[in-house]
Amino acid sequence: MKTTKLAKVMSVGLAVSMLSSLAACTGANETSEMTTIPSQIATEPTETEENVPYTYGLGKTFHADQPVTYTMFFSDASWYPMVETWETEGIFKDIQDRTNVKLELKSYDSGDYMDQVTLDIQAGNAAYIIPKIYDDSKFVDGGAIVPISDYVKYMPYYTEFYNKYDLSKDIQTITRSNGKYYKLPGMKENNLINYTLMIRKDIWDKAGVDVVALQKDWTWADFLEALKKVKSYMVAQGMCKESDYIWSDLWCGSESGKGSGGNLLGIMASTYDCNAGWNIGNGMRYNKEQDKFIFSPTTDNYKQFLKTANSFVAAGILDPETFTQDDSTATAKYYNGKTAIMSVNQGQWASFEQNMIAQLGAGNFENYALTIPIGSTRNSTVDPARLENGVMISKKALDDLGEDGFIEMLRFVDWLFYSHEAYDLTKWGVEGVHYEVVDGKKKLKDGFCCSGLGYGNGGDESLVDIRLKWGYAGGNFWYGGTVEEMKDNLVGPVADYIERDLKDRDVPPLAPGIAPTPEQNEQINLIATPLISNVNAWTLKFVTGQADVDKQWDEYVKSCEALNYQGLVDIYSQLYK
Higher pLDDT, 32 or 519: 519
Torsions phi, psi of 233, nearest 5? -65, -45
Q: How far apart are CA 296 and CA 294, in angstroms?
A: 6
Q: How far apart are CA 555 and CA 551, in angstroms?
A: 8
Secondary structure, 3-state, 320-332: HHHHCCCHHHHHH
To which H or E segment does residue 412 belong? helix 395-418
360-389 confidence digits (pLDDT tens): 998 999 999 999 999 999 988 877 788 989
Please report the domains of the chain, with CATH numbers, ordered by start residue.
39-188+387-489 (3.40.190.10), 196-379+516-576 (3.40.190.10)
Q: Which residues contact 98 (CB under 8 A, 6 or more apart)?
A: 61, 63, 425
Q: What is the mean predicted confidence (pLDDT) over 42-49?
A: 55
Cβ atoms within 10 A of the Cβ of 44, count?
12
394-417 confidence digits (pLDDT tens): 999 999 999 999 999 999 999 999
| Start-to-end CA span in the chain (Å) | 26
Confidence of residue 290 (pLDDT cuts 50, 70, 90): very high
- Residue 72: name the closest of 420, 412, 421 by CA: 412
Q: How far apart are CA 527 and CA 344, in angstroms?
A: 33
Q: Which residues contact 53 (CB under 8 A, 6 or more apart)?
A: 64, 65, 66, 408
430-446 confidence digits (pLDDT tens): 999 999 999 999 999 99
- pLDDT, position 401: 98
The yes-or-no verdict on residue 2 having pLDDT over 70 is no
pLDDT above 90 covers what percent of the chain?
71
Give pTM, 2 decimals: 0.74
Beta bridge partners of 342: 198
C-alpha separations of 45 from 37, 152, 166 in Å: 20, 13, 21
Give the pairing type, strands 292-295 and 448-449: unpaired
Q: Which residues contact 357 (CB under 8 A, 6 or more apart)?
A: 458, 459
The yes-or-no verdict on residue 210 having pLDDT over 80 is yes
- Residue ranges of alpha helices (H) inside 419-517 are 420-428, 466-470, 483-486, 492-504
Torsions phi, psi of 548, nearest 5? -100, 120
To which H or E segment does residue 73 belong? strand 68-76
Distance of CA 29 to the CA centre of its chain: 30
The yes-or-no verdict on residue 575 having pLDDT over 80 is yes
Higher pLDDT, 39 or 551: 551
C-beta of residue 170 within 8 angstroms of C-beta of residue 508: no
C-beta of residue 464 within 8 angstroms of C-beta of residue 450: no
Q: How far apart are CA 350 and CA 30, in angstroms?
A: 46
For the chain, what is the radius of gyration of the CA atoms? 24
Q: How far apart are CA 389 and CA 31, in angstroms?
A: 26
- pLDDT, position 191: 76
Confidence of residue 308 (pLDDT cuts 50, 70, 90): very high
C-beta of residue 276 within 8 angstroms of C-beta of residue 265: yes
Mean of all residue pLDDT scores within the chain: 89
Q: How far apart are CA 130 and CA 136, in angstroms?
A: 11
Q: Which residues contact 365 (CB under 8 A, 6 or more apart)?
A: 200, 202, 337, 356
Q: How far apart are CA 573 and CA 566, in angstroms?
A: 10
15-28 confidence digits (pLDDT tens): 333 333 333 333 33
Q: For residue 453, give the DSSP letter.
A: G
Torsions phi, psi of 267, nearest 5? -65, -50
Range scoring the smallest mean pLDDT among 274-278, 346-350, 367-371: 346-350
Q: How far apart are CA 373 and CA 264, in angstroms?
A: 12
49-98 confidence digits (pLDDT tens): 568 999 999 999 999 999 999 999 999 998 899 999 999 999 999 999 99
Amino acid, single-letter form, for residue 139: F
Higher pLDDT, 413 or 453: 413
